[in-house]
């Protein structure tokens, strides 16, 4: 036991290196690029499968929804970048994009609602696949 008159040795703590703002933004930009690429890749694969399985018209409906989903994802990423800033607007333009797409699908005879909606939701499938990949893949050990 240490006596009150003898100084104790300084505690040696091993801590994780602090993540700087620049590092976290770099990680965010990497995530944004990965999700965009995954969405585009998944959209192309599903487009080809729908074309082979159903028809070219149905595949084009899916592709329209997927393209609007990519635009939505980019708008969402832009809003995430501005979190903590002065702007307090809540995604009304993103909601208008989706609502406009659904109104267009219901009004135009050649468009089908289900393939367009599923195409729009492709970005969510890409996010789910990314989460599953990161959850099931062990993290690299830091040296």
Residue 129: closest CA among 40, 27, 24, 29: 40
Residue 127: closest CA among 90, 80, 58: 80
CA distance 64 to 62: 5
Q: What is the pTM of this model?
A: 0.75
Q: What is the pLDDT of residues 1-52, one digit of tens each?
A: 555 555 555 554 444 555 566 777 888 899 999 999 999 999 999 999 999 9
Report the range of poorest mean pLDDT among 12-16, 80-84, 102-106, 139-143. 12-16
What are the sequence ranges of the domains in the chain?
43-84+111-135
Q: What is the pLDDT of residues 118-137, one digit of tens each?
A: 999 999 999 999 999 989 98
CA distance 64 to 59: 9
């Amino acid at each position: 036991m240490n006596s009150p008159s003898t100084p104790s040795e300084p505690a040696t703590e091993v801590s994780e290196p602090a993540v700087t703002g620049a590092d976290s933004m770099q990680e965010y930009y990497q995530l944004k690029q990965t999700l965009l690429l995954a969405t585009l890749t998944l959209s192309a694969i599903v487009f080809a499968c729908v074309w082979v399985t159903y028809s070219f018209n149905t595949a084009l409906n899916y592709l329209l929804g997927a393209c609007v989903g990519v635009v939505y994802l980019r708008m969402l990423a832009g809003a995430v970048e501005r979190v903590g800033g002065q702007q307090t607007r809540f995604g009304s333009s993103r909601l208008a994009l989706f609502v406009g797409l659904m109104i267009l699908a219901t009004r135009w005879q050649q468009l089908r609602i289900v393939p367009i909606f599923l195409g729009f939701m492709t970005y969510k499938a890409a996010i789910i696949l990314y989460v599953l990949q990161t959850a099931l893949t062990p993290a690299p050990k830091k040296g």
